[in-house]
Every structure is written in structure tokens, then in C-alpha cells.
Structure 1
């Protein structure tokens, strides 16, 4: 997807929340798409998560490093979290904040959005660490809704996330509600080789090994 007539600008969406458009070069995006596809062929494939109340998430997910189930992390490690992905997360924090602060993620959640998939407003509260969340977007454009800490409703801001975009939220914004109410099918560059949207989020759980 092209940047259009006017390039999208870096933005501080809220205190501690930074959006960096087009951070990942296209070649790096292709590498990540290939890696996500390969991870899905392993012993822990993408799956639709069943929530405690019986609902089923429309996205398909897998976890690298420490495994996640609603709403907690397990002691088990499935697909190891690659060191190169940890390094990429640190690069992202340097880009967003000017330093990585010793960021040492031990899990990465990978969500795949097929046409019609969405993510309801939620808080990432399973982690005991207050370290920032690093989010990378690949494939189709989406609306990322970034809200408040108190509830799932207003006030919130809607941010367009495009393939290659970086979004980091930490500090005062670490515990806000957020979600993806809409994905726009067919908006990714066909050369990326991805139909749908992938989102990778790197996190420190703060749990002992």
C-alpha cells in the first residue's frame, strides 16, 4: 500500500503511546510474514481461542515463548521466542522512546485477522510487568481503537494501522482498553503475499521462568 499524496506522520496518540507509520521496510515485512507462516506449521498452530464464557474469538492466534490462555500465562513454552524478534522489539522501543530500557520480552502473541475478524475492546492485564507493549502490523489496513483505562467506551481514538506500522504503548497508557473494530480486506500490497492482517505484540510477562 502506498503512502498516498501526503505521508503519514509519526504521532504521540497519548502519553506513552507512539505510532510510527511505515517503520518496517517492505523486505522486513516479507520476512516476518514468512516467519509467521512457518510458525503456524509447527506443533502450536493458529487457533481460535475459546473464552471462559463460551465465546470464540474471530481472530486466530499463536504464542511464541510463554503460552497464553484466557486470561493467564502458562509456565510452558511452545515455539521458542527467537532472539532476533527480541532484538527487533528493542529496536522498536528505541524508535518510539529513544531507549529500550532493558526490554526483555518473553512472549509474543501473533494474531491473524481473516476477512470479518475483529478484536473487542480489552486490557492487557495478564502481565505483571509494566513494560511497554510493542505492536507490529502486517497486511491489510485496520482501525485500531485506543481507549481509556476506566472502561471500554469513550473517550477513545481511532488510528489507522497499515502494513509496516509500529505502535508502542507503555507508561501512562500501558493499561488502557484497546481493540480492532474493523479490518479492510484487500488493502495490503499483493507483493507481500498475505491475504488478511497479522499483528505481532511483544510483551514482558514479569513471571518467573
Structure 2
């Protein structure tokens, strides 16, 4: 079950219900934010998923398009006072994903799965101009796909470097697998949460790192 956290201020009951209904097949957590006097409304949505899952496999493109249309309508109703939008994608992995399977007792009910949060990607859309806001909103989809592809390529590169490092003569394959698994697990434990923040550059029509 994927989780969607919705924090908001200045939205009508109907708007909140519409957003909740889009994600009614997920675990939704909703709360109200403090008032932001600079904007008519504030909306913060966080999607929490396993790092091994592509975002648009967790949230179907059809649901995403419906969500984008709803946000467009909310922004239009706010006029020049604007809508401040923050969209966050939080990736976690399960502690057992990086354990040696031989070490896990599937019959042990006390063997709990621990979720370790690994990466958080934030898109901040704060343009009050309607056209600038809409253009940024529409290009989040492309940015998500590009960032995911870049991350996957980087991950494959480092994994290939690790395999090359351990793939030396006179070392049994089983030993290589154990060393790879232990090193990957060790690296994740010692790595703090990776944070990436992006803002939309309307002039260049791109999302760029803050």
C-alpha cells in the first residue's frame, strides 16, 4: 500500500474531497497547515513509495492527469493571489531488501520489516502568474521521469563498480554475492536521507535544482 500525505490550507471542502477521491485506493493522511498570508491557498502533497518502484507505476498516469487537472482548476479559482504547491516524492527501502536471504527466518514472527527512508525529491511551485504556474505543473511529469532515469543510471554505474571490485580471481561467486550484499547494506545504513529540491525556471521552461 502506497501512502499519500496531504497537507493544505485555504482549500474548500469540495476541493479536498476531490483530491482525496483521486487517491482513495492508497493510504491517505490529511492535515491542515497554518495560514500563509502571501497566497490564497497552500497545498503540500507527499507520495511515499518503495525505491524499487517507478513513480508512475505507483500513481498511474491516468490518476496523475486527473490530479493535474484538479490543481489547474484550483489555481484558476485563486487568481493572482495564487496557490503555493509543494509536491514531494519520498523513497524508502525495506531493511530486509538488503539482508542475506539465508539470514532471514520467514517463520519468525518477531522479524519485523523496518522502513528506511532513503531519498526525498521536492518540487516547489510558487509562481502566482497563471501561465507560469500551469507550465511548471505540466512539466513536473517530465522532470520526474528524467530524474528517475538519471538516478537509475547512477545506481547502475556504482553497482557495476562494486561488482568489478569484488570480481577477482580465486574468489568464489557465493563469496562475491555476500560481499556485495553486505557492502550495499552497510552503505545505505551510513547514508543519511538524500534531499533534492527543484524549482521551476519559467524562462528556460525547466525544473532546476535549488
TM-score, L = length of structure 2: 0.32
- Which structure has greater strand proportion? 1
- Which structure has greater helix proportion? 2
Larger Rg: 2
Higher RCO structure, 1 or 2 (CA under 8 Å, sep 6+): 1
TM-score, L = length of structure 1: 0.32
